A = this chain, B = another copy of it.
Amino acid sequence: MSESPIKFELLHIDKYTGARRGRITTRHGVIETPVFMPVGTNATVKGITNDQLNEIGTEIILSNAFHLYLRPGLEVLDYYKGLHNFMNWKKPILTDSGGFQVFSLPNKKFSEDGIIFKSPLDGLEIELTPEKSLNIQNVIGSDIAMVLDVCVNSLSSYETVKESVQKTFNWALRSREYHNNKNQALFGIVQGGLYEDLREISLKQITSLDFDGYAMGGLAVGEKYQDSEKVLKAFGNKFPENKPRYIMGIGSPTMMFLSVENGMDMFDCVLPTRMGRHGTALTMQGKLNLKSSKVRYDDQPIDDECDCYTCKNHSRGYIHHLFKRDEMLGKILLSIHNLRFNISLVEKMRNAIEINEFKYFKEEFFRNSGYSLTN
């Protein structure tokens, strides 16, 4: 077991739930957990400058090996000495392996070593293998790389999920073997869909390998809340205690509470920025549609408890006007607010965990907010 490029400290576990308060130290700085990671798919969090990301308390961003491989491409990333330098982001970066993106494409098929798909940009055939994904992430120079996994949708048959678990393990083995970057942590990914015995197998297989952290994959892919809840309750706290635990692709308040309660430390989601671009704000009182004419004469900020640039400077009515005129600034202001909402929420969770009040904080949140506890 070689020394990990990151250090994880488990600072505290909430007395009444599985919620964890931790700290990850990387070469690009410290990440307090639980942490929400804004998504910067194309080497940019859509519409947001690095200064704005820093201002809202971003500690780490997520980017995508798959998208960066297509554009700008490895030659460019190599020329600029990696993604940090290319986009001038000085804090940690985690990269997804491309698994989720490739499996979302039509017409992919397994090859002997990996998976073959058609580039969504030009239709040319591309093969992605566990080793190639690591090569890409190596050029990107992310602080945390993910293994290539086989992600299936939540309606898949038992046989399909079983095969995906087996291949995911095989690819994880090859990835662990192949990875050779002392500056980059590598996380394994547990699959198994909604089948408890397959989750159990995948968890044992993946955690038998010495990764720097472990991720729960294959959730937030269309299943019901109750199904993700079942998986998280059964397996969240079976992940190794001394390593970061990352649940991929979640970011709604409901799912963040559920994940943290069951021992998860990290999550990412395009939801805050995507909803922002479409005119919906996240607030402590629930979702707010800024396109609705109801807010035309509303001179209040989106959320008067929020400390973001948008809420400190602009009214709901002004943002409504910007959306009516399809002005970029509307999308920018709402993206800033929604990202800050998520980051601020995990900051509050951290405080609640530290004083063993996570359960109370969660109950309060759902009592007072417009969010459903179950979706």
A contacts, CB < 8 Å to B: 42-44, 46-51, 71-72, 76, 79-80, 86-88, 296-297, 299, 309, 313-315, 317-318, 321-322, 324-325, 327-329, 331-333
Contact B314 A88 (CB under 8 A): yes
Residue numbers in B under 8 Å from A47 (CB-CB): 328-329, 332
Residue on B nearest A48 in the bound complex, by CB: B329
Sample (21) of A-B pairs whose CB atoms are under 8 Å apart: A42-B322, A42-B327, A43-B318, A43-B321, A44-B322, A44-B327, A46-B329, A47-B329, A49-B329, A50-B313, A71-B321, A71-B324, A72-B321, A72-B324, A79-B297, A80-B315, A86-B315, A86-B317, A87-B318, A88-B313, A88-B314
CB–CB B42/A80 < 8 A: no
Cα separation A325 to B322 with both chains bound (whole Å): 24
Query: What separation, in Å, do the CA atoms of A327 and B41 have in the docked complex?
Result: 10
Report Cα–Cα, A12/B49, bound state, in Å.
Answer: 40
Interface centre among A47, A51, A296, A325 (most CB of B within 10 A): A325
Task: Choose among B313, B315, B327 the residue that contacts A46 (Cβ–Cβ < 8 A).
Answer: B327
Q: Pick from B51, B88, B325: contact of A42, CB below 8 A.
A: B325
> Which residue of chain B is the closest to A336 with respect to CB atoms?
B49
Closest Cβ of chain B to A208, distance in Å, is: 39
Q: B80 contacts A309, CB within 8 Å?
A: no
Quick one: which of B43, B48, B321, B322 contacts A76, CB cutoff 8 A?
Answer: B321
Q: How far is the CA of A317 from the CA of B87 in the complex (A)?
A: 10
Q: A88-B318, A317-B80, A322-B44 are in contact. Are A328 and B327 (CB under 8 A)?
A: no
Nearest chain B CB to A153 CB, angstrom units: 27
Contact check, B80 vs A299: say whether CB atoms are below 8 A apart: yes
Residue contact A332 to B49, C-beta cutoff 8 Å? yes
The residue of chain B having its C-beta at the shortest distance from the C-beta of A331 within the complex is B328
* Whole-angstrom CA separation of A87 from B318 in the bound complex: 6
Given A49-B309, A86-B318, A313-B50, is A296 in contact with B329 using a C-beta cutoff of 8 Å? no
The 5 A-B pairs of least Cβ separation, nearest first, read A47-B328, A72-B321, A42-B325, A44-B329, A44-B327
Question: With A and B bound together, what is the CA distance between A265 and B46 in angstroms?
Answer: 38
Min Cβ gap A127→B in Å is 23
Closest CB in chain B relative to A44 CB, distance in Å: 4
Cβ-defined partner of A296 (8 Å) among B50, B76, B313: B76
A315, B299: Cα distance in complex, Å: 39
| Cβ contacts under 8 Å, A76 to chain B | 296-297, 317, 321
Kindly list 6 other residue pairs between chains A and B, CB separation below 8 angstroms, not including A71-B325, A87-B314, A88-B314.
A44-B322, A44-B329, A71-B324, A79-B297, A80-B317, A88-B318
**A306-B318 Cα distance, complex, nearest whole Å:** 32
Instruction: Verify A332–B328 contact, CB threshold 8 A.
Output: yes
Tell me whether B72 and A296 are in contact (CB under 8 A). yes
